[in-house]
Structure 1
Amino acid sequence: MLKLIGVIVSILLIIVIFLRTPQENVGLSSFATKSDILGSPSSAERFLNILTVFGIAVYFGVALSLNLTS
Protein backbone atom coordinates (compact mmCIF):
# COMPACT_ATOMS: atom_id res chain seq x y z
CA MET A 1 0.00 0.00 0.00
CA LEU A 2 2.79 2.38 0.89
CA LYS A 3 4.61 1.59 -2.34
CA LEU A 4 1.47 2.43 -4.32
CA ILE A 5 1.21 5.80 -2.57
CA GLY A 6 4.88 6.41 -3.36
CA VAL A 7 4.35 5.66 -7.05
CA ILE A 8 1.29 7.92 -7.24
CA VAL A 9 3.10 10.79 -5.51
CA SER A 10 6.09 10.34 -7.81
CA ILE A 11 3.91 10.56 -10.91
CA LEU A 12 2.10 13.58 -9.46
CA LEU A 13 5.42 15.34 -8.84
CA ILE A 14 6.58 14.65 -12.40
CA ILE A 15 3.35 16.13 -13.78
CA VAL A 16 3.59 19.19 -11.53
CA ILE A 17 7.21 19.80 -12.55
CA PHE A 18 6.24 19.60 -16.23
CA LEU A 19 3.41 22.10 -15.63
CA ARG A 20 5.82 24.61 -14.16
CA THR A 21 7.20 26.81 -16.91
CA PRO A 22 9.91 29.46 -16.69
CA GLN A 23 8.78 33.06 -16.12
CA GLU A 24 9.93 34.25 -19.53
CA ASN A 25 7.95 31.52 -21.25
CA VAL A 26 4.39 32.57 -21.95
CA GLY A 27 3.05 29.02 -22.05
CA LEU A 28 1.36 29.03 -18.66
CA SER A 29 0.18 32.62 -18.84
CA SER A 30 -1.31 32.24 -22.31
CA PHE A 31 -2.99 29.00 -21.28
CA ALA A 32 -4.41 30.64 -18.17
CA THR A 33 -5.78 33.61 -20.09
CA LYS A 34 -7.43 31.41 -22.75
CA SER A 35 -9.14 29.18 -20.21
CA ASP A 36 -10.07 29.70 -16.58
CA ILE A 37 -8.87 26.26 -15.53
CA LEU A 38 -5.86 27.52 -13.57
CA GLY A 39 -7.04 31.07 -12.91
CA SER A 40 -4.58 33.92 -13.21
CA PRO A 41 -0.90 33.11 -13.83
CA SER A 42 0.12 34.26 -10.35
CA SER A 43 -2.51 32.15 -8.60
CA ALA A 44 -1.62 29.17 -10.82
CA GLU A 45 2.04 29.55 -9.89
CA ARG A 46 1.16 29.80 -6.19
CA PHE A 47 -1.02 26.69 -6.43
CA LEU A 48 1.74 24.75 -8.20
CA ASN A 49 4.27 25.87 -5.56
CA ILE A 50 2.03 24.64 -2.74
CA LEU A 51 1.30 21.39 -4.58
CA THR A 52 5.02 20.81 -5.20
CA VAL A 53 5.99 21.38 -1.56
CA PHE A 54 3.18 19.14 -0.34
CA GLY A 55 4.12 16.41 -2.82
CA ILE A 56 7.78 16.53 -1.85
CA ALA A 57 6.91 16.31 1.86
CA VAL A 58 4.64 13.30 1.26
CA TYR A 59 7.27 11.67 -0.96
CA PHE A 60 9.98 12.06 1.69
CA GLY A 61 7.63 10.71 4.35
CA VAL A 62 6.78 7.64 2.28
CA ALA A 63 10.43 7.06 1.31
CA LEU A 64 11.56 7.37 4.93
CA SER A 65 8.93 4.96 6.19
CA LEU A 66 9.69 2.46 3.42
CA ASN A 67 13.39 2.59 4.23
CA LEU A 68 12.80 2.14 7.95
CA THR A 69 10.54 -0.89 7.45
CA SER A 70 12.96 -2.75 5.19
Structure 2
Amino acid sequence: MLNLIWLLLSGFLIFIIFLRAPQNGGLASFATKSDLLGSPSSAERFLNNLTALLIILYLLLAIQLNFNNL
Protein backbone atom coordinates (compact mmCIF):
# COMPACT_ATOMS: atom_id res chain seq x y z
CA MET A 1 0.00 0.00 0.00
CA LEU A 2 2.82 2.40 0.85
CA ASN A 3 4.51 1.50 -2.43
CA LEU A 4 1.42 2.53 -4.37
CA ILE A 5 1.08 5.83 -2.47
CA TRP A 6 4.79 6.52 -2.98
CA LEU A 7 4.52 5.80 -6.72
CA LEU A 8 1.46 8.03 -7.15
CA LEU A 9 3.09 10.79 -5.12
CA SER A 10 6.23 10.70 -7.23
CA GLY A 11 4.17 10.94 -10.44
CA PHE A 12 2.15 13.84 -9.06
CA LEU A 13 5.33 15.64 -7.96
CA ILE A 14 6.77 15.34 -11.45
CA PHE A 15 3.52 16.70 -12.89
CA ILE A 16 3.26 19.64 -10.49
CA ILE A 17 6.91 20.63 -10.98
CA PHE A 18 6.41 20.71 -14.76
CA LEU A 19 3.16 22.63 -14.29
CA ARG A 20 4.95 25.54 -12.62
CA ALA A 21 5.37 28.59 -14.82
CA PRO A 22 8.96 29.61 -15.59
CA GLN A 23 10.25 32.75 -13.86
CA ASN A 24 11.74 34.30 -17.00
CA GLY A 25 8.54 35.03 -18.94
CA GLY A 26 7.20 32.22 -21.07
CA LEU A 27 3.99 31.03 -19.48
CA ALA A 28 4.25 33.70 -16.78
CA SER A 29 2.95 36.28 -19.24
CA PHE A 30 -0.10 34.06 -19.79
CA ALA A 31 -0.56 33.69 -16.02
CA THR A 32 -0.60 37.45 -15.50
CA LYS A 33 -3.21 37.98 -18.24
CA SER A 34 -5.53 35.20 -17.11
CA ASP A 35 -7.50 34.72 -13.91
CA LEU A 36 -7.39 30.96 -14.41
CA LEU A 37 -5.65 30.30 -11.08
CA GLY A 38 -6.65 33.52 -9.36
CA SER A 39 -3.93 35.98 -8.45
CA PRO A 40 -0.55 34.92 -9.90
CA SER A 41 1.25 35.54 -6.62
CA SER A 42 -1.25 33.55 -4.55
CA ALA A 43 -1.26 30.71 -7.08
CA GLU A 44 2.53 30.62 -7.07
CA ARG A 45 2.64 30.66 -3.26
CA PHE A 46 0.09 27.81 -3.14
CA LEU A 47 2.11 25.74 -5.64
CA ASN A 48 5.32 26.41 -3.68
CA ASN A 49 3.72 25.29 -0.42
CA LEU A 50 2.10 22.25 -2.03
CA THR A 51 5.35 21.22 -3.71
CA ALA A 52 7.33 21.57 -0.47
CA LEU A 53 4.75 19.57 1.49
CA LEU A 54 4.66 16.79 -1.09
CA ILE A 55 8.46 16.60 -1.28
CA ILE A 56 8.63 16.19 2.51
CA LEU A 57 5.93 13.50 2.38
CA TYR A 58 7.78 11.79 -0.47
CA LEU A 59 11.03 11.71 1.51
CA LEU A 60 9.31 10.40 4.65
CA LEU A 61 7.68 7.60 2.66
CA ALA A 62 11.01 6.77 0.99
CA ILE A 63 12.68 6.48 4.40
CA GLN A 64 9.84 4.33 5.73
CA LEU A 65 9.95 2.03 2.71
CA ASN A 66 13.72 1.76 3.00
CA PHE A 67 13.48 0.63 6.62
CA ASN A 68 10.73 -1.87 5.75
CA ASN A 69 12.99 -3.52 3.17
CA LEU A 70 15.88 -4.05 5.61
What is the TM-score with the length of structure 1 in the denominator? 0.84
**Greater CA deviation, 12-21 or 60-69?**
12-21
In structure 1, stretches of 5+ residues that fail to align are none
Q: Is it true that 1:10 corresponds to 2:14 in the alignment?
A: no
Aligned length: 69
CA 1:34–1:17: 2 relative to 1, 3 Å: same
Moved >3 Å (runs of 4+):
none
In structure 2, stretches of 5+ residues that fail to align are none
- Percent of residue pairs identical: 48
Aligned position for 2:44: 45
Work out whether residues 29 and 41 of structure 1, in 8 Å CA contact, stay in contact via their aligned partners in 2: no
- How far apart, in 1, do the equivalents of 2:28 and 2:16 lie? 12
CA 1:55–1:11: 2 relative to 1, 3 Å: same
- How far apart, in 1, do the equivalents of 2:60 and 2:41 lie? 29
CA 1:27–1:21: 2 relative to 1, 3 Å: same
Q: Cα RMSD between the aligned structures? A: 1.6
Alignment of 1:1-70 (within 5 A): 1-31=1-31, 33-36=33-36, 38-70=37-69
| Matched AA of 1:25 | G
